[in-house]
Amino acid sequence: MAYDDALAARIRELLAGERGVTEKKMFGGLAFLVHGNMAVAASGKGGLLVRVDPDESDALVRKSGVALMEMGGRSMTGWLTVEAAAVQTKKQLAEWVDRGVGFARTLPPKRL
């Protein structure tokens, strides 16, 4: 499954004007990076991937439509999948985008 172009456009709109944001195809989707660190992505499996503070993962997965990202059969603390149904409104999407960007800004910039 290809990532949702409409979701990517909505993310792009929310990130307009943010400094240091780039786009890169990753994980079968389209990732939005802040100074080289992934913040959010339109997932190739549908919905959204969000990078968060690992210490917040347990609390955040209690929300409806949210789970830990799995890669290679392993759950990845600090990486969440958010179902498309949980980001239908601009407010819902903005909350996750803001959370991902906020965490990415705490990380040291990557050399590009």
Q: How many residues does the chain have?
A: 112
pLDDT tens-place string over residues 14-66? 999 999 999 999 878 999 999 999 999 999 888 999 999 999 999 999 999 99
Cα separation, 60 vs 82, in Å, equals 10
Q: In what order do the strands lie in the sheet with 66-71?
A: 21-26, 29-34, 37-42, 48-51, 74-82, 66-71
pLDDT tens-place string over residues 83-98? 999 999 999 999 999 9
Token pair 């909505």 is found at 10
pTM of the shown model: 0.93
Domain ranges of the chain: 5-104
CB 39 within 8 A of CB 26: no
Q: What is the CATH number of domain 5-104?
A: 3.90.1150.30
Residue in 32, 35, 57 with CA at minimum distance from that of residue 43: 32
CB 112 within 8 A of CB 36: yes
Task: Tell me which H or E stretch contains 101.
Answer: helix 90-104
